[in-house]
Structure 1
Amino acid sequence: MKFGIHSEQYQNNFSKEETQKFTEVFGELTQEFAEKLNTGVPSSDESVQVLVRRHYEFCLQFWTPTKEAYKSLAMTYILPSPYRDAYEEVAEGLGKYHYDAVCIWADKNL
């Protein structure tokens, strides 16, 4: 599983260890989303919405997205992009599932 595809485009002051930890946490979150998808839990389910909250809090380490910006980030999970391809490698339909969950959460919380 390869995440952080465009990370080389951005300057940061994170150590190699911090970057590795970010990758691990993001991978764990992604696997949790995939498990929910694969067991048929709707993206609107409270347990999935808790995962979105954790995803949003993860993003806060790097930037503070508005509702529109957060939903736009999630859109990269469904539009043709390396992000979508990475999600689809984990589970078919995962990008759309995560996008739908983000939109629900963002509309209620941002």
Structure 2
Amino acid sequence: MSNQFGMYSEQYTNDYSKEQNEQFTAAFDAITQQFVAGLNEGVPADAASIQDAVRQHYEFCSQFWKPTREAYKSLALSYIMPSPYRDTYEGIAKGLGKYHYDAIVIWADKNL
């Protein structure tokens, strides 16, 4: 059986209620929209506002999985390599996967 969501997805569990999952989705969407706004406005990936969005993204991910620097950067790599993550980001805005990847790498190298 192939694992379409990458090598770390087996570490995730979802024992949450429908309401909790809806809250997670809304929170994740709000974080993603910060990246979309930055990309659309030409804000550099290392700008304070985008780095704060990465911090929020890391904290969001940490609710389910506590990634190391390398693991977090590996997750970001899935945003630019062929994967459902890349397809989702690119479906939202062209270049969003690479923008998010760049921002994560900068943040991870400074903070993890």
TM-score (norm 1): 0.89
Contact 1:31 1:90 in 2 (8 A): no
Q: Using the TM superposition, give the Cα deviation of residue 11 of structure 1 relative to its aligned residue in structure 2, in angstroms.
A: 3.5
CA RMSD of aligned residues (A): 1.7
Q: Using the TM superposition, give the Cα deviation of residue 107 of structure 1 relative to its aligned residue in structure 2, in angstroms.
A: 0.2
Contact 2:13 2:64 in 1 (8 A): no
Partner Cα distance (1:42, 1:11) in 2 = 34
Percent identity over paired residues? 62
Out of 100, 103, 106, the position equivalent to 2:105 is 103
Point out where structure 2 has 5 or more consecutive residues left out of the alignment.
none
The number of equivalent residue pairs is: 105
Equivalent positions of 1:16-55 (< 5 A) are: 16-55=18-57
Structure 1 runs, 4 residues or longer, greater than 6 Å off: none
1:80-110 deviations in Å (ceiling 9; x for gaps): 1111011011110000000000000000000
Q: Using the TM superposition, give the Cα deviation of residue 78 of structure 1 relative to its aligned residue in structure 2, in angstroms.
A: 0.6
Partner Cα distance (1:12, 1:23) in 2 = 13
Out of 66, 70, 79, the position equivalent to 2:68 is 66
Match of 2:81 in 1: 79
Q: Using the TM superposition, give the Cα deviation of residue 31 of structure 1 relative to its aligned residue in structure 2, in angstroms.
A: 1.1
Match of 1:15 in 2: 17
